[in-house]
Structure 1
Amino acid sequence: MIILVFLLILTGFDIYLYNGIRPLFSAQASVFTGLYFLISAASVIGLILYGSTIQQAADPPPFIDQIFAFGMVVILAKALAIAPLLLQDVYRSGQWLLSSLSQFSIDSFPKSSTFFSYWAAGQWSIMFLVLMYGVAIGKYDFQVQHHSLTFENLPQAFDGFKVLQISDAHLGAFKDPAKVDKAIALIQEQKADAIVFTGDMVNNLATEASPFVEKFASLQAPYGKYTILGNHDYAEYVPWPSEKARQQNLQHLIQLEKTMGFQVLMNESASIEKDGESINIVGVENWGIPPFPQYGDLKRAMQDNDPNDFNILLSHDPSHWEQEVWGENIALTLSGHTHGMQFGIKIGNWEWSPVKWKYERWGGLYQKAEQYLYVNRGFGSHGYPGRVGMAPEITVLELKRG
């Protein structure tokens, strides 16, 4: 039923855009119509193939991923292209209404302008190219973000300690493992003291991570590698024959992460010792605002920590910081989850993404009193299989003693 409603809405938008730009191609009407609806059909078929594969709890093969990527780009570009046509129709409706009221008679509906047709066609073409760029290039444009944070209670031995964060790998989106080689090299170049991963290693299936085990295992950090689970790691978005099968998938993923060299923190803490002093890496399971799961238990994770300890919290969803972390003995929280919506604009120090309408703290560094939150914009992609203006991120946080 949901699929049928989706297809009906999609068809409505498709016909609306078609009628809006068809006047520009009157000389080649039959050719335009054929190409337009052929592309539309290919887009829908791609989405259906991808969806049916996911519904079988299977990892889509590369050719289905490519068809899905094309379909997603076409549909997103069309959705953005109808804005000029809607603007025109609202204006025309207003003209007609005012004319009718002023003359006490119903005039003919104002004619459409080819200006808006050109605008819609041009916007569709530009957005298609931009979104395809995000799929082919932007998705692999890994960038390193450096930040220095000062804390009064940081143990002296950890002054200058570098924590490298990656998040939201969604490894199922990388059908060619060699595509992450640049990122692996960049991570190694940072010579971080510790590496942390803040959840969503896969889209759903543990097997998505299998081709990448050796690459992530090659990452070295003298004070360890730590990871937590994100909402996708529990694989609750695909059907399973039984709860036991889903749990087996989860345990398989945890084992693969351990083989990569990560210590998997599930509502627990790990102590890092250096020159007789220590800090704690606290890791909780996913905690998000419903419908996202709330498996995280911060009190349990910190139950053995001393009240004077310096604590760094790994929590996948930044909503957790607002809801439970404020006021606790957590100096720094590292999160991900938002992906910066994989779309944004950055000019100098100013950055914008539509994800800000859902998450107040969606990317970068935030502070409240003496507590910091850093939200990593993500390593991989999900949904739209690309990135535009929101580069995949590797974060290096240097801890300084104030």
Structure 2
Amino acid sequence: MQIARTALSEPYQLTIERRVIYLRRLPPELDRFRIVQLSDLHHSPLTSRAQIERAVEIANDLAPDMVALTGDYVSHEREYAAPCAETLGRLRARFGVYAVLGNHDHWTDAPLVTDLLRAEGIQVLINEGRRFEARGCAFWLAGVDDAMVGLEDLALALAGSRENEMKLVLAHNPTILRRAARYGVDLILAGHTHGGQIAWPRRRRARRRLLQGLGQRGETQIYVSRGIGTVVLPVRYGCPPEVSLLELRTA
């Protein structure tokens, strides 16, 4: 009974996960650059608009330099796309809000989700990149489409980047890590896993690095968010929803 009560209440126990990430190629002028990441909102009958509004309020209170949105804004029903986009349109960051799509966005209506986000001033990156400039210096910011639906094109997203500049990639699915390491990506921000959503203690210890948090392959680091919403059932256990505050530091 106690486990059931915890599982039903945990989706509402929104946490702030603070991580410092050291990056060898981060320009010194961008030391302490702050990114807030939100992922897997899944606005639907299982995840209310109030839950998303709370995440947006927390994100704004953290006063980030950038907000990164890593996909799955809705689940299956198109009617939730507009209110979700409108709520996300209230996000504020010094240097902009950037987004990529997830598998549930494609299963619902990817063009609709994209158009609604862009109408709110959110820059949706679909297998594309750009030289992101702030504080008088720059790095390559890229976003890829979703791997689960077969539309990810990392090479295209990195086209135009310089060999020695720092590369930050937004992706929904963390399976991109191995490919990104081959391309010399410095940091990936991803979601998709929900931290397992139901994470029994033994399973959490065995697989934590695969499902959530900070991981690495070679010189490429990845941060995987547990996300905000839920799918299948409105429950979480051992992996509460999160707003991620990532502070980039020059290694």
1:166-187 alpha-carbon deviations (Å, 9 max, x no partner): 1111011456422333222211
1:371 matched to 2:220? The reply is yes
Per-residue CA deviations over 1:253-290 (Å, capped at 9, x if unaligned) read 11111133311100001332123310122100011xxx
Tell me the residue number matched to 1:49: none
1:325 is matched with 180
Name the SS for the 2:246 alignment partner: strand
User: What per-residue deviation string (whole Å, max 9, x for no partner) do you get for residues 4-48 of structure 1?
Assistant: xxxxxxxxxxxxxxxxxxxxxxxxxxxxxxxxxxxxxxxxxxxxx
Query: How do 1:35-184 residues align onto structure 2 when only pairs under 5 Å count?
Result: 126=1, 129-135=2-8, 137-174=9-46, 176-184=48-56
CA contact (8 A) 2:46 2:233 kept: no
Q: 1:302 aligns with which of 144, 158, 164?
A: 158
Matched, 1:271 2:131: yes
Shift of the 173–396 alpha-carbon distance from structure 1 to 2, 3 Å rule, reads farther
SS in 2 for 1:330: coil
Q: How does 1:243-282 map to 2 (within 5 A)?
A: 249-282=109-142
User: How many angstroms does 1:250 deviate by?
Assistant: 2.2
Of the candidates 315, 335, 352, which is equivalent to residue 190 of structure 2? Answer: 335
Kept after mapping to 2: 8 A contact 1:173/1:380: no
Secondary structure at 2:26 match in 1: coil
Residue identity matched to 1:183: A
Counterpart residue identity of residue 327, structure 1: R
DSSP 3-state at the match of 2:182: coil
Distance 1:397 1:176, change over 3 A: closer
- Native 8 Å contact 1:206 1:250 kept in 2: no
- Whichever of the two has the greater Rg, that structure is 1
How far did residue 360 of structure 1 move? 6.4
Secondary structure of 1:213's aligned partner: helix
> Measured at CA, do residues 352 and 364 of structure 1 come closer, stay the same or move farther in structure 2, by a change above 3 Å?
farther
Contact 1:254 1:264 in 2 (8 A): yes
User: In structure 2, what is the Cα distance between the partners aligned to 1:176 and 1:191?
Assistant: 24
RMSD: 2.1
Aligned to 2:91: 219
Q: Is the 8 A contact 2:38 2:68 kept in 1?
A: yes
Q: State the distance in 2 between where 1:318 and 1:355 align.
A: 18
Match of 1:385 in 2: 234
**In the TM superposition, what is the alpha-carbon distance from 1:355 to its structure 2 partner?**
9.2
Are the aligned partners of 1:341 and 1:354 in contact in 2 as well (CA < 8 Å)? no
Identity percentage of aligned residues: 28
Aligned position for 2:250: 401
Letter in 2 for 1:250: A
Distance 2:243 2:229 in 1: 11
Which structure has more relative contact order (CA 8 Å, sep 6+)? It is: 2
Q: Name structure 1 gaps, 5 residues minimum.
A: 1-125, 237-248
Task: Name the CA distance, whole Å, in 2 between partners of 1:138 and 1:251.
Answer: 32
Residues 127, 153 of structure 2: 8 Å contact kept: yes
May I ask how many residue pairs the two structures share in their alignment? Answer: 251
Decide whether the 8 Å contact of 2:31 with 2:248 is kept in 1: yes
In 2, Cα distance between the equivalents of 1:175 and 1:321?
Answer: 28
Return the offset for 1:215: 2.2
Between the aligned partners of 1:190 and 1:360, the Cα distance in structure 2 is 25
TM-score (normalizing by structure 2):
0.92
CA contact (8 A) 2:49 2:84 kept: yes
Contact 2:46 2:234 survives alignment (8 Å): no
**TM-score, scaled relative to structure 1:** 0.59
Shift of residue 193, structure 1, vs aligned partner: 0.4
Partners of 2:173 and 2:205 lie apart in 1 by 17
CA separation of 1:360/1:177 partners in 2, compared to 1, >3 Å: closer, same or farther? closer
